[in-house]
Structure 1
Amino acid sequence: MFKNYFKIAWRNILKNSGYSFINIGGLAIGLACFLLIAIFISNELSYDTYHDKKDGIYRVIHHSNANNPEDAWVWGNAPIGPALKSDFPEIIEKAQFSGRSDILLEYNNRKFQEGECFYADASVFNVFSWPLLNGDARTALEAPYSIVLTESTAKKYFGNENPVGKTIEGIGGRANDGTYTVTGVMRDIPQNSHFNFDVLMSMSSFRQSRSEIFEWWGYVDFYTYLLVADNFDQAAFESKIPSFLEKHLDAEEAEEYYYNFSLENMNEIYLYSTADRQPGETGSLSNIYIFAIIGLFILVIASINFMNLSTARSLERAKEVGIRKVIGAERRGLIYQFLGESLILVLIASLLGLGLAFIGLPWLSSLTGNVFTMASFMTAPILLLYFGTSLLTALISGSYPAFVLSGFRPVSVLKGAFRTSPQGTNLRKGLVVLQFSISIALIASTVVVYYQLGFMLNKDMGFDKEQQLILDFNWDNQVLNKAEAVKGELLALADVSSVSLSRTVPSSHFPAAGTDIETYEGNMENFSPYIYEVDNNFIQHYKIDVVAGRAFSPDFPADSISSLIINEAAAKEFGYTDPNQIIGKKFQQWGREGTIVGVVKDFNYISLHSEVAPLTIRQVPYGRYLSLRISSTNYTKAIAAIENKWSQLAPHRPFIYSFLDDAFNKQYIADIRFRKLFTIFSCLAIFIACLGLFGLATYSAMLRTKEIGIRKVLGAEVSSIVTLLSKDFIKLVGIAIIIAIPFSWYAMRQWLNEYAYSIDVEWWVFVLAGAIALSIAIITVGFHAFKSANNNPVKSLRTE
């Protein structure tokens, strides 16, 4: 019997190959999209799960804003780590890293500036699951000037030889200079890690160069992780924090600045952390929800197509059902048969979807920046989810057609009196409305996502970031010792119109500084704004507007020792609504005292994800970057000339450059990836919906073939027949537009709330989405209507 069911199912698939192709193809694409989204989400949820002790690893989060205790930093002070380990027996181990530190390494004339480097405690390998391929994990980072390289970094310098015991030179930095001994080679950090690096240097090396900061509670340059005992109670621990701080912070320090801290579990870091100064990228839980919803929508649309076409074709199977029932077939057997046919179709679609997903893996890798392979989805959980979803899809989408077909009355069917029930017709219409409501919502959402990112990339940031070439010489003393001469030589080039030296540039790393500023009452109030250390030309070079006072100038030599410029946000932080009122007020910052000489207009020196934060700017004779404004549009020629001059000025250093707008826009990589993924999956969902409408319109036109023939014989025009066949579908799309507008408006408003600066959801977005959906429906349905209207009526009426 089952063999017979399979034969009948297979014959029906071949007999109606067009509908079978639409059914199987649409479902296969839907399942492939669902699988790719599941792989992407699974990867996002897998961050840091490779650590054996992940449940017992916590990170210290620092709070230093009394006005907003929720304002948090991952980056913090050094002494908190040893103090916590000493005072709390439930803390088994502490592991600290310095802030990211770039270093130029050289071995046998091979030089590379490594940008992902950290000083680290020797205990890091006791806390984290980072296995060493060569070397002893227990001692690898103990001795001063020890260095551990990742496998790929070691190969750059040493090829396939074992580098342990060899020496490598650190050149031209500040604390980084020296001869390092390679004490270990570790596996490359897995891609699903919130903390990535290429080089670890021993913390004892850093301690030798700046030992005093390891005692300063107000100095921030460290990431602190703790490994706790199995019975650790986080709530009980955090209740002891006030007494801990009272013990370790003296009264003068506690009065000078606000400080508190909390703990964050390793499992919460990537998706849930809201703290600033992360050591790596963090994910977005809302984006995971969005993609999960899109995956579900795609599956729902594909299932709707399957159900619609199956029920619409029930008339063709009516006589078969009637004959089967007359010769004794039971309804249960018919249900099994039609469910079996549904399962066969879904099985074929799921296998095809598996192949499509495999083909799509390289595309997913290129879009997300992660590497996905066959092993990415050939895992038990993923395959169980995939085939379980396929089975559920088959049962849900095939159950209604099965029960409808098996419920036909044989007497009515064999007399030819059977007609499609109003309930079945209304169900199909309802499903069309549902899938086009989803499609319209996705179209509107895609437009909003596209324009929000365009707004972020093109918004006036308050400074000139166009045609700015940034040279990174990484604090090289040989360059700094002749900084003014270097600037002069570069400025003399024909393609360079301005040069500035600074510790940081927009989008790059910048510190914060404990700062006291005089209030209205004459008191000195302390907080920790961000700080830019620049030369006297920086503000003019970047065309930053001065709204009160003045910029730094060579005409005021005292600017380098006693002047400070702040932004509008910093002035407001200290209670000055009028920036002119803070000019001349006293300040104290990092050993420097003087007066505020200027206030600059707020400029977005970080991405538009955050509002402009308080910033102080002071003049210094040192820095890491040279900013060059290029006056020529022939960038190839200009870069070649600059590189040639650089090889004369600093022959010992590689020519490392970037354009500021490109570097700044890298802050939006995650947003760009999100837009691409969202747009592509939304378009696929819309395509699947159109595929279903295409099949349904084809079938609807086929059912009315004789009606169309009679109308043509009676003189009906092609336009009236096209209108007749199209208007019902157009009405359904109109209803879908009305349903989709409020849903998509609310969803997009919630998504935009995550951005400090965002677009407004304009009315034209929904008009555009509705127009696109209507156009798609008109083209899809109108094609078949026009084709049917132009058929020869003789062919359709000759059997009457």
Structure 2
Amino acid sequence: MIKNHIKIAFRSLSRNKGFSFINITGLAVGLAVCIMIMLYVTHEMSYDTFHKNGKRIYNLRASIKTGGNVMNMASLSYAAGPIVQQNNPVVESYMRTLAYFRPTVVSNPKSPENKFAESKLLFADAGFFDFYSFKLLTGQTSEALKAPFSVVISRDMAKKYFGDANPVGQTITIKTDSAYTYHITGIAENAPSNSSIDFNFVASTKSLLAMKEASMYTGSQEISFGSFNLNLLLKHTADTAELRHNLQAMAKKDKIFDETFYTLSPIEDTHLHMNFGDSSNTKYLKIFPLVAVLILLLALVNYMSLSTARATLRAKEVGVRKVSGASRSSIATQFYVESALFAGISFVLGYCLCYLCKPWFLDVLQLKIDNSFLYSPTVLLCLFALLFITVLIAGSYPSLVLSAFKPVVTLKGKMSKQAGGTAVRKVFTTLQFAISVGLIICGIIIDRQLYYFRHTDTGINRENVVMLPVSTTAVKNYGALKKDISELAGISKIATSHYALYKGYDMFFVAGKNKSDQSVGVANLMGDKEFTSVLDLKWKYPPTQITDIVGRDKVVINELAIEKLHLPANPVGTFLSDGNNKFQVVGVLKNFNFTSMADEMKPLALFTLADTSSLWKRTGCNIFVKIAAHTNLPSLLNKMQGIYKKYDQDTPFNYTFMDDAFNQQYKAEDRLAAIFSLFTYITVILATMGLFGLAAFTIEQRTKEIGIRKILGASLAKIGTLLSIDFLKLVFLSVIIASPIAWWAMHNWLQNFANRIAIPWWVFTLAGVIAMLTAIITISYHAIKAGLANPVDSLRSE
């Protein structure tokens, strides 16, 4: 019986090629989008689930409150691990890791001329490969990281530096603050793409302790700010309550800060809930699945609408089968098999389309997904569930509608008046265009918000400013390096800052006027006397001489700091204190955005240091180069690279245009805009395909009516208007439905930004016009074709 149903299904498919193409293609596109988003969501939700002890591993972070200001400590001090274990018997072991954030140069001593800038250097305690479930291909997990300057390299790095040879037992040179020779004690499989801990090189923590810069990372002997990520392995999963209680008791004993709070979270939640850095991939984890559901719903509605629209062509077939003794269940089964076959073909095509588009999709999200993950049991189960749901929904409504036909009615040719046809298809069409219009509105508003970010005056002139980080080697000759670059033709100004702009800042706590007042946290930047000039910052109350601002006991603030610190209207000459030192206010800058426009503007304290300051050589710095207009940029950058290599031949010459650094802050929104644009195009195409097929069928049903109207003198324009008006009413209704929903969604989304646009009224008009024009163009093809047809042909049977 099933075999016979399949034969009939294939005959129906081949007999109605146009409608079959629209049905299958539309559903395939919807499924492709749904599969891609499903892969993305499943991958994001699966982070760190591969660790065998994952249910017992918890990440420890802390927050401190001092002077009314709460600060999160994503990384803790070196001493934090031992202290927590000593005070908590439920902790079986701990693991400290430090992701080295400075430039790293790696080479094979046997070919020292081949040097590469590398990232993902991780320092870890000795039991790293026992604590986690990263696969060690060669070497012993218990011995790999015991000795100072021992390192385990990833499979990719082993291939890159040693080819097919076994590197275990050999050495490799890794330059951090200085060049050190590391003994390779193992090769690890590349970290999975769904791991929050990533590495190319895992070096022993004892190596870090032996480095020149060790005191920067291991100085504090208390639980405090630090550079180490701390994970705890509990003896039992049920020990979390006791550990939280003990941590709370430890926090109360801590007298360093006003208050200390500890945060304990499963390692499997680290990626989604504890990411204080770039969370752009997780930021819209709830939005994309919703859009995927809408697109799949649109594709299914499209399929069911067209399937039931052609019901009259199968009505007599159903009537004859029922008169011949076929039951409703057998007829429903037949149509269900047909729908299942169509859905199955669509699913295969959708999967192939997803496979072809996956590289683009992952590139837009800047996401890597291992091929092995694509065939994991979780993904295969999700794919099967999606196929099952698609078949279930796609086949249910058409089979119920078609099998319910009454043989007496259908054989008399009165199908068009049966319930369940026209009204349902009108609802389907309205829903399709409502989804399309809603996404069009959202896409335009997202684009406008990003345009606002990039074109609003931030108070900084970012044009033609290059930021050059100075390595730990080159910084030893900082003065000579800066002088040589400043003498190049095409350089109009040059300045120095502790941090690259938009890459971070320190905090400066200003003490209250008396002991009862709480201190106020103020953002702290450090630069030289040319810093304000290179950025073209505007003065509210300028200093008498620019040299007056230089000195560790002098500070320049912004206008917002006057308000937050309750200073006089003109505070120049007043003093600020951090509790130990006093700083004279020597100038006030007009407010400018030195962080993302998505965040609120912050009060600022700018300290100006002399070029001879030891800070630049001790902690490194960034040189800001203002390039004159009409300068040959490639040539100038090559000359700057030559000068840089003069003072540091190992570290790659690296630079960032300030405009690029500014735009980089909005990459999450850029990704959302790109994906939303794609989704919008897809929804419009699907809605258009559905309308195209439905219009063709509707006009086909009214062929005789059109012929009679033409004989009675109706013009082509009148016939086109007559046929279009019903569909345009539905599109207009969809605009009315979608507009308030889209406004509500975008209003809530905009609340995430401190600086945001007001939603303009013309967005809804533009979306409505786009929908209307799309519908008119789609319908016009069939309307003109019907209007030009010879009425004799349509009325011949009469």
Report if TM-score (shorter chain) is over 0.5.
yes
SS of aligned partner of 1:21 = helix
For 1:169 and 1:219, how far apart are their aligned partners in 2?
Answer: 30
Matches of 1:650 and 1:391, distance apart in 2? 61
Residues 1:77 and 1:488: Cα distance change in structure 2 (over 3 Å): same
**Counterpart amino acid of 1:757?**
N
Q: What is the one-letter code of the residue matched to 1:30?
A: G
Residue 3 of structure 2 is matched in structure 1 by 3
2:586 to 586, 589, 597: 597
Q: Tell me which moved more, 685-694 or 367-376.
A: 367-376
* Residue of structure 1 aligned with 2:198, choices 192, 196, 202: 196
Counterpart for residue 56 of structure 1: 56
Equivalent residue number for residue 610 of structure 1 = 599
Q: Secondary structure at the match of 2:529?
A: coil
For residue 64 of structure 1, give the secondary structure of its aligned residue in structure 2: strand
Work out whether 1:394 is the aligned partner of 2:391.
yes
How far apart in 1 are the matches of 2:671 and 2:206?
Answer: 40
- The answer on 1:405 being equivalent to 2:396 is no
User: CA separation in 1, counterparts of 2:539 and 2:232?
Assistant: 45
Structure 1 residue 138 corresponds to structure 2 residue 142 = yes
**1:735, CA displacement in angstroms?**
0.9
CA contact (8 A) 2:433 2:687 kept: yes
Check 1:135–1:605 CA distance in 2 against 1; reply closer, same or farther (3 A cut): farther
The secondary structure found in structure 2 opposite 1:262 is strand
Residues 1:269 and 2:260 aligned together: no
Distance change (3 Å), C-alpha of 1:790 and 1:408? same
- Report the counterpart of residue 530 of structure 2 in structure 1: 537
**CA separation in 2, counterparts of 1:663 and 1:718?**
58
Counterpart CA distance in 2 for 1:52 and 1:14 is: 52
CA distance in 2, matches of 1:523, 1:482: 47
1:74/1:794 Cα in 2 relative to 1: closer, same or farther (>3 Å)? same
> Residue 141 of structure 2 aligns to a residue in which SS?
coil
| Residues 1:794 and 2:795 are matched in the alignment | no
Report deviation, 1:780: 0.7
Which residue among 489, 492, 511 is the counterpart of 2:487? 492
Q: Is the 8 A contact 2:83 2:223 kept in 1?
A: no
1:517–1:585 Cα contact (<8 Å) kept: no
Residue 13 of structure 2 corresponds to residue 24 of structure 1: no
**2:231 match:** 225
Within 5 Å, which residues of 2 pair with 1:412-491? Answer: 412-476=409-473, 479-491=474-486
Could you give the per-residue CA deviations for residues 340-377 of structure 1, whole angstroms, max 9, x where no partner exists? 22222222222222222222222223222234466544
CA distance 1:139–1:453, change in 2 (3 Å): farther
Q: For 1:214 and 1:735, locate their aligned partners in 2 and report how far apart those are by CA, in whole Å.
A: 66
SS at match of 2:345: helix
Q: List per-residue Cα deviations over 1:415-461 (Å, max 9, x = no partner).
A: 33443325421111111111111111111111122222333334433
- Alignment check: 8 A CA contact 2:465 2:658 kept: yes
Q: Closer, same or farther in 2 for the Cα pair 1:651/1:270, shift >3 Å?
A: closer
Structure 2: 5+ residue stretches without partners: none
Pair 84,546 (structure 1): closer, same or farther in 2 beyond 3 Å: farther
1:505 aligns with 2:503: no
Gap change, CA 1:615 and 1:240, over 3 Å in 2: farther
Structure 2: which amino acid aligns with 1:15? R
What code does the residue aligned with 1:193 have?
S
Counterpart of 1:658 (choices 656, 659, 669) is: 656
Which amino acid in 1 is paired with 2:577?
Answer: F
Structure 2 residue 249 is matched with structure 1 residue 243: yes
- 1:581 pairs, out of 571, 578, 590, with 571
* Percent of paired sites with the same residue: 33
C-alpha displacement at 1:720, in angstroms?
A: 0.4
Note the C-alpha offset of 1:679: 1.7
Structure 1 residue 775: Cα displacement: 1.1
- CA shift for structure 1 position 118: 4.0
Are the structure 2 counterparts of residues 106 and 124 from structure 1 closer, same or farther at C-alpha, using a change threshold of 3 Å? Answer: closer
Structure 2 CA distance, aligned partners of 1:84 and 1:424? 69
Query: Whole-Å Cα distance in 2 between the matches of residues 433 and 342 of structure 1?
Result: 23
1:520 alignment partner, SS class: coil
Matched AA of 1:12: S
Of the candidates 364, 367, 371, which is equivalent to residue 370 of structure 1?
A: 367
Cα deviation digits, residues 621-641 of structure 1 (max 9, x gap): 313322211214532122122
For the 8 Å contact 1:271–1:284, the answer to whether it is kept is no
Query: Is 1:109 the counterpart of 2:106 in the alignment?
Result: no
Instruction: Tell me, yes or no, if structure 1 residue 519 matches structure 2 residue 512.
Output: yes
**1:289 CA displacement:** 1.9
What is the CA-CA distance between 1:770 and the residue it aligns to? 1.2
SS at 2:459's partner residue? coil
> Displacement of 1:615 after TM fit?
4.3
Counterpart of 1:501 in structure 2: which amino acid?
T
Question: Given the superposition, is the C-alpha separation of residues 8 and 159 from structure 1 closer, same or farther in structure 2, using an over 3 Å criterion?
Answer: closer
Query: Residues 80 and 224 of structure 2 are in contact (CA less than 8 Å); yes or no, is this contact kept in structure 1?
Result: no
Asked whether the equivalents of residues 61 and 264 of structure 2 are also in contact (C-alpha less than 8 Å), the reply is yes
Distance 1:136 1:578 in 2: 66
Q: Aligned partners of 2:152 and 2:370: how far apart in 1?
A: 29
Q: Aligned residue for 1:43?
A: 43
Q: Could you tell me how far apart the structure 2 residues matched to 1:320 and 1:604 are? A: 71
Contact 1:103 1:170 in 2 (8 A): no
After superposition, the Cα gap between the structure-2 partners of 1:148 and 1:607, relative to the gap in structure 1 and judged at 3 Å, is: farther
Secondary structure at the residue paired with 1:143?
coil
What SS class does the counterpart of residue 466 from structure 1 fall into? coil
Deviates more, 1:646-655 or 1:787-796: 646-655
Report which stretch shifted further, 293-302 or 627-636. 627-636
Q: Who is 2:209 aligned against?
A: 207
- Runs of 5+ consecutive residues of structure 1 not aligned to the other structure: none
Contact 1:65/1:527 (CA < 8 Å) preserved in 2?
no
Letter in 1 for 2:147: A
1:389 shift after superposition = 3.2
Structure 1 residue 614, shift from structure 2 partner: 4.7
The answer to whether residue 636 in structure 2 is matched with residue 638 in structure 1 is yes
- Count of matched residue positions in the alignment of Structure 1 and Structure 2: 781
Letter in 1 for 2:707: G
Matched-pair contact (CA < 8 Å) for 2:100–2:120:
yes
Deviates more, 1:370-379 or 1:338-347: 370-379
Q: Partners of 2:521 and 2:151 in 1: how far apart?
A: 33
TM-score when normalising by structure 1 = 0.90
Question: What SS does structure 1 have at the residue aligned with 2:60?
Answer: strand
Quote how far apart the aligned CAs of 1:7 are.
Answer: 2.7
Q: Whole-Å Cα distance in 2 between the matches of residues 538 and 158 of structure 1? A: 46
Deviations 1:647-670 (A, max 9, x none): 345445432223222233333333
**Cα distance change of structure 1 residues 652 and 798 upon mapping to structure 2, 3 Å threshold:** closer
Pair 83,552 (structure 1): closer, same or farther in 2 beyond 3 Å = farther
Q: Which region of structure 1 is more displaced relative to structure 2, 72-81 or 62-71?
A: 62-71
DSSP-derived class of the 2:65 partner = coil
Q: 1:295 aligns with which of 287, 292, 297?
A: 292
1:106 to partner: Cα distance: 4.8
Partner of 1:768: 766
C-alpha displacement of 1:760: 2.4
- Pick aligned residue for 2:338 from 330, 341, 353: 341
* CA displacement at 1:695 relative to structure 2: 0.2
Work out the CA distance in 1 between the residues paired with 2:485 and 2:241. Answer: 58
Note closer, same or farther for the CA distance 1:407–1:225 as it changes in structure 2 (3 Å cut).
Answer: closer
Alignment partner for residue 742 of structure 1, among 740, 743, 752?
Answer: 740
- Conserved 8 A contact 2:511-2:519: no
What TM-score do the two structures reach when normalised by structure 2? 0.90
Asked if 2 retains the 8 angstrom alpha-carbon contact of 1:364 and 1:372, the reply is: no
Q: Distance in 2 between matches of 1:774 and 1:443?
A: 13
Measure how far apart 1:112 and its partner are: 3.1
